[in-house]
Structure formats: C-alpha cells, structure tokens
C-alpha cells in the first residue's frame, strides 16, 4: 500500500539526517503494535519490521496469511525458530551500520539480546521518532477518526434512551459496549467510564456497582476503535433533576471548553490553549478542582502526541487531532467534564464531535 510505503520513506529520510541507516520495530505481544500498524498496515500482535534500503518483515505461522493480506511490498520471512536469530541474520546481510530502535516500546532485555547477536552494528535508541510522524493525520486517518466519533455518538444517543434509575454503572457500560460493537466498533478504545453521582468526581473512574439515582450527575467518557482509529468523548447528564451546584459547574466547564476550542489553531502552544480554558475555571473559583491537562492527541492509540497541558512543550500543527476536555471535580458531590475531539487547521479548529452539549440534559 502506497501510504505505508510513504510513511516508511519519510521515517528513513528523517533518520538519515542523524546518520542512522535502518530502523527496527520489534512487536512482540503487541509491544509496538501501533507503530508497526502505522508503518506497515499489520494488525497482529507479533511481527518484526526492518526499514532500510532493503526492507523485511518477519512473522510466524500464526500470522503468515494475515500479513499476506495486510502488508504489501515488503519481503516476508516466516520465522520457524527464534525471531531474533532470523532477524539478526537478515540485518547482517544488509549495509546497515547504525540501526534505530524504539526505546519507548522495546524492552531492555530484548535490546541486550539483539545487541549480543549484532556485535558490529550500533543500536541507536530513538524515543519517539514514529510517534512524531503520527502526530499529523492524513486524509484517510481523519476519515477513520470521523467514523469512530460518529459511531460513538450514535451509540451514546441510543444508551441514553435505555437508562433508568436503579441500573448500575457497570450495566450501562456493558449495554453501551454491546451497542458499539453491533454498530461496527472493533472494540472499545479504553475501559468505558460511566460514573454516577460522587463517582463522577474521579477523572479516571471506570464503571462499578453504584446504582444510578435521581439527582445524580451521570458522566460518560467513552470511545471506540473502528477502522484502526479511536474516538474519545465525554458528556455529562443529570438524572431526573438538575441541582443548582450541578448547573453551576456545568456552565463553567462549558465556557472553559469553548475557550479551549476558540484558542486552538496551528502555531499555538499546547500550554497556551490549556491556559485559556484553565483561566475560566480559576476565575470562577474552582482552581483546585481541575487537576489534569486540557487535552491530548489521539489516533491509532487513545493517547498520542501532542499534549495540551501546563507542562506541554508541544506546538500545534495542521492535521493534528486532539481533545479539549476541561473538568471540575468536587469530591463527594460529583464532577463535570466536557470532552470534544478537534482537527487543527491553520486558522482555527474544526470540532469533530457533534453530540449536543449546550444544556445540561436531564435523563
Ligand atoms: Zn476521554
Ligand atoms: Zn481524552
């Protein structure tokens, strides 16, 4: 496939600037699944890819047929013994002298083992070389992300009609996952967060046995993986009635969310955008109740570069897809987070999520 070939060529030309003439992706039990998928189209859990003037792809009998379908234009080797023996033998036959390897996704023992088999070749640890390429999405990737979002939003709309007081968070999460899978999701992008009442004050809560009751806030932070790409969206609802406190924090978070959206554009610093949204919450008196960053990139994985936070050094570029997700969390009461997915353009951003958020909707 042309797109994968282009990505490998781009990576290699970037590496050549550092006098590195090859790159190896060692994907064992999905240890580097996202990068090998990005570079080759392979969706399985175990394979090795060598990118250099002479490329090669290694897998074992479990994946041979799958590779033949998914990976085009790279010579395929079937491993019958130990992966690293075959891989090292192939590398030695090439002209590679300095071989790049992902230090984020490769275990130390694997690197040591490979180094022992390649004594004349320098292994160069590279932290985020492929991840950086993945930051800006191409047209096809954006289409897949749009589809994943659409599927998530229609599933959310469906589950909302089925919720009745007395259901547990876990029951709602399970029903929602069934709806998503039936609609075409490969899987959920992360453990779905369905948090009722006081649990919605825990930003990374999952879904437990708490029953939904009248007067609760009910928070959904949900996403799917479809066509290899993720979505990530948060909406909050009120069950039966809206309390004054819930309305107050909802309105502030909505204003912060809109401030974040208005600030996002190519050339802007991640921390600047975070600040625009955070200031709204600070000024309203909830400074200590928004502890996480404003947003993050996503794509093949649900958390990717860049980061939008006070500590971020990232600068937004056209084609990046990121979340904007401010929140206020009140321990013992509940929390509100409103998370949208956006595509960065030169002069602003396009909001890809369209699930209504203008009012705190009562279920
Ligand atoms: Zn989320
Ligand atoms: Zn998120």
When pLDDT is averaged across residues 325-340 and rounded to a whole number, the result is 97
Residues 91, 175, single domain; the answer is no
Do the domain assignments include residue 359? no
Do the domain assignments include residue 203? yes
Query: Contact at 8 Å (CB) between 201 and 245?
Result: no
Residues 103, 169, single domain; the answer is no
Query: Contact at 8 Å (CB) between 236 and 212?
Result: no
pTM: 0.94
Do the domain assignments include residue 357? no
Question: How many A from CA of 10 to the centre of ligand 1?
Answer: 31
Question: How many A from CA of 45 to the centre of ligand 2?
Answer: 25
- Which of 102, 132, 162 is at the close of a domain? 132
For helices 83-93 and 108-117, the axis angle rounded to 10 degrees is 50
The number of residues in the chain equals 363
Share of the chain above pLDDT 90, in %: 97
Do the domain assignments include residue 361? no
Q: Which residues contact 288 (CB under 8 A, 6 or more apart)?
A: none
Torsion over CA: 260, 262, 266, 269 (sign): negative
Question: How many A from CA of 270 to the centre of ligand 1?
Answer: 18
Which DSSP string corresponds to 316-361? --TTBEEEE--EEEETTTEEEE-BEEEEEETTEEEE---S--SS--
Q: What is the rounded CA–CA span in Å between residue 100 and residue 278? A: 39
Specify the CATH number for the domain of residue 33: 3.40.350.10
Owner of token pair 């060598």: 50
pLDDT in tens, 260-297: 999 999 999 999 999 999 999 999 999 999 999 999 99
Give the number of whichever ligand sits closest to the CA of residue 307.
2
Residues 321, 181, single domain; the answer is yes
Q: Tell how far CA 138 is from the center of its chain.
A: 16
Share of the chain above pLDDT 70, in %: 100
Residues 101, 175, single domain; the answer is no
Give the number of whichever ligand sits closest to the CA of residue 298.
2
Residues 94, 112, single domain; the answer is yes
Do the domain assignments include residue 72? yes
Residues 261, 277, single domain; the answer is yes
pLDDT in tens, 116-130: 999 999 999 999 999
How many domains would you assign to the chain?
2
Q: Which residues contact 141 (CB under 8 A, 6 or more apart)?
A: 229, 299, 321
Question: How many A from CA of 234 to the centre of ligand 1?
Answer: 6
Question: How many A from CA of 295 to the centre of ligand 2?
Answer: 6
In this prediction, residue 46 carries a pLDDT of 96
Of 159, 117, 95, the residue nearest 26 (C-alpha):
117
Spatial strand order in the sheet of 224-226: 187-188, 224-226, 229-230
Residues 174, 127, single domain; the answer is no
Do the domain assignments include residue 68? yes
pLDDT in tens, 57-76: 999 999 999 999 999 999 99
pLDDT surpasses 80 at 1: no
The confidence band for 109, taking pLDDT boundaries of 50, 70 and 90, is very high
Give the number of whichever ligand sits closest to the CA of residue 293.
2
In this prediction, residue 203 carries a pLDDT of 84
Do the domain assignments include residue 363? no
Residues 96, 143, single domain; the answer is no
Specify the CATH number for the domain of residue 241: 3.90.230.10
- Which of 132, 167, 200 is at the close of a domain? 132
When pLDDT is averaged across residues 343-356 and rounded to a whole number, the result is 98
Residues 88, 195, single domain; the answer is no
In this prediction, residue 254 carries a pLDDT of 98
Residues 205, 190, single domain; the answer is yes
Give the number of whichever ligand sits closest to the CA of residue 188.
1
Do the domain assignments include residue 360? no
pLDDT in tens, 203-222: 888 889 999 999 999 999 99
Strand ranges inside the chain, DSSP E: 22-27, 47-51, 56-59, 76-78, 98-102, 122-126, 187-188, 193-196, 217-222, 224-226, 229-230, 233-238, 295-297, 304-308, 321-324, 327-330, 334-337, 340-345, 348-351
Give the number of whichever ligand sits closest to the CA of residue 193.
1
Residues 80, 121, single domain; the answer is yes
Question: How many A from CA of 323 to the centre of ligand 2?
Answer: 6
pLDDT surpasses 80 at 333: yes
When pLDDT is averaged across residues 53-60 and rounded to a whole number, the result is 95
Question: How many A from CA of 91 to the centre of ligand 2?
Answer: 39
Q: Tell how far CA 343 is from the center of its chain.
A: 14
In this prediction, residue 207 carries a pLDDT of 84
Question: How many A from CA of 233 to the centre of ligand 1?
Answer: 5
Containing structural domain, residue 339:
139-351
Give the bridge partners for 315, in sequence order.
269
Question: How many A from CA of 1 to the centre of ligand 2?
Answer: 31
In this prediction, residue 112 carries a pLDDT of 95
pLDDT in tens, 153-192: 999 999 999 999 899 999 999 999 999 999 999 999 999 9
Torsion over CA: 179, 182, 184, 188 (sign): positive
- Which of 97, 132, 167 is at the close of a domain? 132
Residues 32, 76, single domain; the answer is yes
């Amino acid at each position: 496939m042309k797109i994968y070939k282009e990505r490998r060529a781009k990576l290699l030309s970037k590496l050549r600037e550092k006098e590195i003439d090859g790159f190896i992706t060692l994907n064992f039990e999905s240890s580097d699944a996202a990068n090998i998928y990005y570079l080759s189209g392979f969706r399985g859990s175990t394979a090795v890819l060598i990118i250099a003037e002479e490329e090669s792809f290694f897998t074992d009998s479990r994946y041979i047929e799958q590779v033949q379908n998914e990976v085009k234009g790279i010579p395929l080797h079937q491993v019958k013994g130990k992966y690293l023996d075959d891989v090292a033998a192939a590398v030695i036959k090439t002209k590679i002298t300095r071989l790049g390897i992902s230090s984020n996704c490769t275990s130390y023992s694997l690197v040591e083992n490979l180094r022992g088999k390649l004594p004349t070749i320098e292994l160069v640890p590279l932290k985020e070389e492929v991840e950086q390429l993945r930051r800006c999405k191409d047209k096809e990737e954006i289409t897949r992300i749009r589809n994943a979002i659409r599927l998530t939003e229609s599933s959310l709309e469906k589950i909302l009609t089925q919720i009745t007081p007395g259901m547990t968070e876990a029951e709602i999460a399970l029903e929602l996952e069934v709806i998503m899978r039936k609609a075409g999701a490969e899987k959920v992008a992360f453990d779905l967060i369905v948090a009722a009442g006081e649990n919605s004050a825990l930003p990374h809560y999952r879904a437990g046995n708490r029953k939904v009751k009248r007067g609760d806030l009910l928070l959904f932070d949900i996403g799917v993986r479809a066509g290899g790409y993720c979505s990530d969206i948060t909406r909050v609802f009120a069950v039966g009635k809206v309390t004054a406190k819930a309305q107050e924090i909802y309105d502030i978070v909505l204003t912060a969310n809109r401030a974040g959206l208005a600030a996002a554009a190519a050339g802007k610093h991640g921390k600047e955008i975070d600040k625009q949204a955070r200031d709204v919450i600070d000024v309203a008196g909830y400074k200590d109740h928004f502890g996480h960053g404003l947003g993050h990139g996503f794509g093949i994985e649900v958390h990717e570069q860049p980061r939008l936070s006070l500590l971020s050094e990232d600068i937004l570029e056209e084609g990046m897809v990121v979340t904007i997700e401010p929140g206020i969390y009140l321990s013992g009461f509940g929390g509100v987070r409103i998370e949208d997915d956006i595509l960065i353009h030169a002069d602003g951003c396009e909001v890809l999520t369209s699930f209504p958020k203008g009012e705190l909707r009562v279920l």
